[in-house]
DNA sequence: TGCGTTTGTCACGAATTTGTCACATCTTCG
DNA sequence: CGAAGATGTGACAAATTCGTGACAAACGCA
């Protein structure tokens, strides 16, 4: 799982700390103090993953992420953003911009490592006809059946699609707007809070087999299906 | 086991030979000299199976196969590739064309017939004449009889075909549109809700032996024959 | 041709799903 | 603590989907 990671962080202390941890974990680390410097590095080396501080002097992290997403060569490089605590508006904005995950400072090396591992492991899973299974909860798109530890579970059409999407994209936070796009369809006129209601209905349906705790609420960001415990 | 087969082969001699054999076996044969002609034919008639020469003038067989696989209406039509030599067979296998089987020229009528039967059995079981049985409900395509736990059941022609298709594809949800294509046939102009009516008539007929609960309604998706309890 | 059967459509009501709101609860932070 | 913001929850009406009975056209057969 050794990867080349680009770290963009202006605070020297944090940069050193993170670099040390990542190097210990066997990754090759490239450091940049600013967005501009990151762009220069990226011209020569294509990283496997980008750790990006959202607050940077000069060009902000958001703008840099936008540039990355617009570039064909960098489009598919996962981005994890580093945010200050409670910076909730930025969380949503970041996810919308195309960040794959976020992590709030201060964070433990353990947490950072886990996130990186998760993001790297998840390439671009599609919603296929394949059966999906997460911690005893299984969903079969072909027969349209959902079972928790073998027990059949009843859920409505929307809840089914929602669960299918989340199970094929685990360990990733999706904002309400993103879920509306992916599950309801693009350009639909629906209140964002409607997602909450369907998440609740989904949890209610999964409660039968205690699988409702698979769905995490990520305050300020959205929802996530966690395959871990 | 009479099927409509599209044969795409540019060598006139082989085309005649194969056509003769297939016709003898009771199949209806459509012939095309080129991929382009095949596309024209397919616009009007949906074949049950395609026999496709690998090497064709103009668009190659592989390209044609890819086109078929990309088309929603043709996606599920089985394809058997005809190759000249064994090593070509390997090449074709290497390219992911989505062909269901391969047969190397020259081949005996016996071998061709066997391959066709095998592919149809796998991809379109309702074309075969095998007796089907699900949870005490049995259907015999040959004698055209249906019995529930031994008791003879009466159903109309359409209900019979519908039940046959569903029993040969259990644990799979089909939308009304898919059922119309598969049971009524391609290019038919029938209201989707008509399927509901026939499902009801089928359920009514199966009610005699309590087998009506085999057919599940999957709200927002379609219908499913459940082999489970 | 006449009669019984099959088939496709429709209209209506029942059942379910869906989106929204109001209010409760919880978290964060001054 | 208390305000502000975010999420959970129960209720509800509109919308959608499905089941069902009726009916006329099409069909098959003697």
B102 and B157 housed in the same domain: no
In degrees and rounded to multiples of 5, residue B178 shows phi and psi of: -65, -40
Measured between CB atoms, which of A143, A145, A157 is closest to B219?
A: A157
B86 and B114 housed in the same domain: yes
What CA–CA distance (Å, rounded) separates A97 from A103? 15
Q: Which nucleotides of D are covered by protein (CB under 7 A)?
A: 5-11, 17-22
In degrees and rounded to multiples of 5, residue A65 shows phi and psi of: -60, -40
Contact B221/A at CB under 8 A:
yes
Q: Of A86, A121, A156, which marks where a domain is finished?
A: A121
Q: Does some domain include residue A126?
A: no
Question: Region B130-155: what's the mean pLDDT?
Answer: 91
Q: What is the DSSP letter of A129?
A: S
**Looking at residue B28, which CATH number applies to its domain?**
3.40.50.2300
What confidence category does residue B140 fall into, taking pLDDT thresholds of 50, 70 and 90? very high
Beta bridge partners of A218: A222
Q: Is the pLDDT of residue B92 over 60?
A: no
Task: List the structure tokens of B52.
Answer: 């496709």
Residue A116: which domain range?
Answer: 4-121
pLDDT at B215: 97
B8 and B121 housed in the same domain: yes
B54 and B145 housed in the same domain: no
Kind plus residue range of the DSSP H or E element containing A25: none
B110: CB within 7 A of chain C nucleic strand = no
pLDDT at B85: 65
What CA–CA distance (Å, rounded) separates B42 from B36? 10
Q: Of B108, B127, B146, which marks where a domain is finished?
A: B127
B96 and B183 housed in the same domain: no
A184 and A110 housed in the same domain: no
A88 and A151 housed in the same domain: no
Q: Is A201 helix (H, G, I), strand (E, B) or coil?
A: helix
Task: List the structure tokens of A53.
Answer: 């501080």
Question: Region B79-98: what's the mean pLDDT?
Answer: 65
Average pLDDT, chain B: 86
Spatial distance from the CA of A196 to the C1' of C24 (Å): 15
pLDDT at B146: 93
What CA–CA distance (Å, rounded) separates B19 from B112? 11
For the segment B1-34, what is each residue's pLDDT rounded down to a tens digit? Answer: 678 899 999 988 889 988 988 888 878 899 999 9
pLDDT at A1: 57
Q: Which residues sit close to strand D, CB under 7 Å?
A: A 88-89, 193, 196-197, 199-200, 203, 217-222; B 193, 196-197, 199-200, 203, 217-222
B91 and B140 housed in the same domain: no
Q: Of the ranges A81-95, B7-21, B59-73, B87-101, which one carries the lowest mean pLDDT score?
A: B87-101
B65 and B151 housed in the same domain: no
pLDDT at B218: 97
Of all residues in chain B, the percent with pLDDT exceeding 90 is: 41
Q: Is B81 helix (H, G, I), strand (E, B) or coil?
A: strand
Contact B190/A at CB under 8 A:
no
B150: CB within 7 A of chain C nucleic strand = no
Beta bridge partners of A151: A148
Tokens 């049995």 appear where?
Answer: B138
Q: Does some domain include residue A55?
A: yes
B103 and B176 housed in the same domain: no
Q: Does some domain include residue A127?
A: no
State CA B15 to chain mean position distance. 22
**Looking at residue A201, which CATH number applies to its domain?**
1.10.10.10
CB neighbour burial string for B135-174, b if at least 16 within 10 angstroms, e if fewer:
bebbbebeeeebbbeeeebebeeebbbbbbbbbbbbbbbb
Q: Does some domain include residue A214?
A: yes
Contacts with B171 from chain A: Cβ below 8 Å: 142-143, 145
Q: Is the pLDDT of residue B196 over 50?
A: yes
Q: Is the pLDDT of residue B40 over 50?
A: yes
Question: Which contacts of A32-37 are long-range, i.e. CB under 8 A and separated by 24 or more positions?
Answer: A32/A6, A32/A7, A32/A8, A33/A8, A33/A9, A34/A8, A34/A10, A34/A58, A34/A59, A35/A8, A35/A59, A35/A60, A35/A61, A35/A63, A35/A64, A37/A8
145-164 of A, contacting B, C-beta below 8 A? 145, 156-157
Q: Is the ipTM of this complex over 0.90?
A: no
A81 and A143 housed in the same domain: no
Q: Is the pLDDT of residue B95 over 60?
A: no
Q: What is the DSSP letter of A35?
A: H
In degrees and rounded to multiples of 5, residue A176 shows phi and psi of: -60, -40
pLDDT at B94: 46
Kind plus residue range of the DSSP H or E element containing B134: strand B132-134
Spatial distance from the CA of B136 to the C1' of C29 (Å): 66
Question: Region B47-71: what's the mean pLDDT?
Answer: 86
What CA–CA distance (Å, rounded) separates A26 from A173? 26
Q: Of B127, B142, B170, which marks where a domain is finished?
A: B127
pLDDT at B195: 97
For the segment A85-125, what is each residue's pLDDT rounded down to a tens digit? Answer: 555 666 666 667 777 777 776 677 767 777 777 676 565 55
Q: Residue B200: which nucleotide is closest by CA–C1'?
A: D19
pLDDT at A139: 97
Q: Is the pLDDT of residue B161 over 50?
A: yes
Residues in chain A predicted with pLDDT less than 50, given as ranges, are none
What CA–CA distance (Å, rounded) separates A213 from A217? 10
What CA–CA distance (Å, rounded) separates A172 from A199? 15
Q: Give the count of domains, chain B.
A: 2
Q: Does some domain include residue A38?
A: yes
B109 and B10 housed in the same domain: yes
């Amino acid at each position: 799982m050794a990867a080349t990671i680009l770290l963009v962080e202006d605070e020297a202390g944090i940069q050193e700390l993170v670099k040390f941890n990542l190097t210990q974990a066997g990754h090759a680390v490239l450091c940049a103090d600013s967005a501009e410097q990151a762009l220069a590095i990226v011209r020569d080396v294509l990283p496997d993953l980008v750790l990006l501080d959202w607050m940077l002097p000069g060009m902000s992290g958001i703008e840099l992420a936008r540039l990355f997403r617009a570039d064909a060569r960098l489009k598919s490089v996962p981005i994890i953003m580093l945010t200050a605590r409670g910076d909730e508006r930025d969380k949503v904005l970041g996810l919308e911009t195309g960040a794959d995950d976020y992590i709030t400072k201060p964070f433990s090396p353990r947490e950072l490592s886990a996130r990186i591992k998760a993001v790297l492991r998840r390439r671009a899973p599609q919603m296929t006809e394949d059966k999906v299974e997460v911690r005893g909860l299984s969903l079969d798109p072909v027969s349209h059946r959902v079972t928790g530890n073998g027990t059949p579970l009843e859920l409505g059409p929307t809840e089914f699609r929602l669960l299918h999407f989340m199970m094929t994209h685990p360990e990733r936070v999706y904002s309400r707007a993103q879920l509306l796009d992916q599950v309801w369809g693009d350009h639909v006129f629906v209140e964002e809070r409607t997602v909450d209601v369907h998440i609740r209905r989904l949890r209610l349906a999964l409660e039968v087999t205690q699988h409702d705790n698979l769905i995490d609420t990520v305050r300020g960001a959205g929802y996530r299906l966690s395959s871990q415990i």
